[in-house]
């Protein structure tokens, strides 16, 4: 096919949920992708945070090939044991916070969040769930109801009941909202879709303490932050935040659709046969890929690379803030989850368009922000090549 024929087929038959960029990507390697006409682009979105160790990563290809020759899906699904699943469980146990003991696998982050909310209500025998303004937890009706952004909620009324919202980073607001009816507080340790909002450590540890005192379970939504995106394997683990559930997806399997939620022993003891399930949950193919990705992160000390590349990004972007004060409001980020906040949405849109014209993919977020979250194993030359394109895009908007 050519790009033109690909455009025609997708525009004719795909559901109208996305405004498409007129680029048809055929292949990738590392942080680079090529369209059907063989034009090369740099991907600073890592497929929206999922291709954490790059496109067409050989260890993923090998895991897919090796496992697919054995079995994709067990007979009776989760009712039979799986060596691929056991290997992943064993590896996950070494990287999760020590107080987290049990896991279950899902197909996506939204599904993991949905399950954690459902099970928190069962464990506590309470109904209310607190979330935060500007949060994002998924696109199922339950997780959309838990999302603190009107654009993701209001057009889907009636929403699920018993969701309350508090200000992110404000412990007093949370304290006032907690009562004997609150089953769970679902919290992103860094708000990604909300604009890369980074709270203080005191907020996260304080929120965990307030929840514990109220008998409310803390659900840490680490779908975007886990697996070294901000540096450590888990933000909550690095900060010693004692969550009752941790949800994860995106980077867990390097682009293969996969997710998980994990829980404490105390939570697991109150759950029983039939409380949750799923046809594809923990299928051998997904488990093999996730194992290969997590092992790569560990073997290649990717956490250290993230810290180093993240510092280069922040230093460079802060220089831009000094050079272009009429365009840039603020620079913020942790590791390789960063955002440039521009003065208004029009400027951000123009910069984003100019980046694409320069063959760099970035993600416009919250109107006036541009989010940068490339593959975690990006090297300095690749990073600086992309940053140079972005700086040129900013300068072209000024011109």
Spatial CA neighbour of 186 closest among 157, 171, 208: 208
Q: Where are the beta strands (DSSP E) in 197-345?
A: 217-221, 245-248, 259-264, 328-334, 337-342
Asked if 221 is an active-site residue, the reply is yes
- Cα 170 vs. chain centroid, distance in angstroms? 23
* CA 94 to centroid of chain Cα atoms: 21
343, 166, 232, 43 alpha-carbon torsion, rounded to 10°: -40
Question: Can you read off the two tokens belonging to residue 13?
Answer: 């038959």
Q: Determine which one of 136, 227, 234, 258 is catalytic.
A: 136
How far is the C-alpha of 184 from the C-alpha of 162, rounded, in Å? 11
Indicate which residue of 250, 258, 342, 373 is catalytic: 250
368-391: b or e for each residue (b if 16 or more CB lie within 10 Å)? bbbbbbbbbbbeeebbeebbebbb
Residue 136 annotated as catalytic: yes
Q: Which residue among 221, 242, 342, 373 is the active-site one? A: 221
What six digits make up the tokens of 329? Answer: 């409001």
SS (H, E, C) 168-231: CCCHHHHHHHCCCCEEEEEECCCECCCCCECCCHHHHHHHHHHHHHHCCEEEEECCCCCCCCCC
118 is catalytic: no
Active-site residue set: 136, 221, 250
């Amino acid at each position: 096919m050519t790009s033109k024929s690909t455009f025609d087929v997708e525009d004719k038959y795909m559901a109208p949920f996305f405004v498409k960029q007129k680029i048809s990507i055929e292949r990738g390697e590392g942080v680079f992708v090529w369209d059907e006409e063989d034009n090369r682009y740099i991907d600073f979105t890592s497929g929206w945070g999922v291709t954490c160790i790059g496109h067409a990563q050989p260890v993923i290809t090998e895991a897919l090939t090796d496992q697919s020759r054995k079995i994709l899906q067990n007979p009776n699904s989760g009712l039979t044991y799986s060596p691929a699943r056991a290997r992943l469980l064993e590896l996950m146990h070494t990287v999760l916070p020590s107080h987290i003991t049990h896991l279950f696998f899902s197909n996506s982050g939204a599904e993991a969040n949905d399950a954690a909310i459902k099970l928190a209500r069962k464990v506590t025998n309470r109904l209310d769930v607190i979330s935060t303004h500007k949060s994002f937890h998924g696109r199922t009706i339950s997780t959309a109801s838990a999302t603190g952004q009107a654009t993701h909620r209001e057009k889907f009324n009636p929403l699920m009941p018993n969701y309350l919202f508090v200000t992110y980073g404000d412990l007093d607001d949370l304290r006032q909202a907690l009562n004997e009816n609150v089953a769970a507080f679902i919290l992103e340790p860094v708000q990604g879709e909300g604009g890369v909002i980074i709270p203080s450590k005191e907020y996260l540890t304080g929120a965990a303490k307030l929840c514990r005192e109220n008998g409310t379970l803390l659900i840490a939504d680490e779908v975007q932050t886990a697996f070294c995106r901000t540096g450590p394997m888990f933000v909550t683990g690095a900060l010693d935040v004692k969550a009752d559930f941790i949800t994860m997806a995106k980077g867990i399997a390097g682009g293969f659709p996969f997710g998980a939620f994990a829980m404490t022993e105390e939570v697991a003891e109150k759950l029983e046969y039939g409380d949750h399930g799923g046809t594809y949950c923990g299928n051998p193919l997904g488990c093999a890929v996730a194992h290969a990705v997590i092992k790569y992160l560990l073997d290649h000390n990717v956490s250290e690379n993230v810290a180093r590349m993240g510092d280069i990004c922040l230093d460079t972007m802060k220089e831009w803030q000094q050079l272009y004060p009429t365009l840039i409001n603020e620079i913020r980020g942790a590791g390789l989850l960063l955002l440039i906040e521009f003065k208004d949405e029009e400027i951000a849109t123009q910069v984003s368009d100019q980046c694409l014209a320069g063959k760099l993919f970035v993600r416009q977020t919250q109107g006036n922000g541009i989010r940068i979250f490339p593959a975690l194993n990006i090297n300095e030359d690749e990073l600086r090549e992309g940053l140079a394109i972005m700086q040129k895009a900013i300068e072209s908007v000024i011109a």
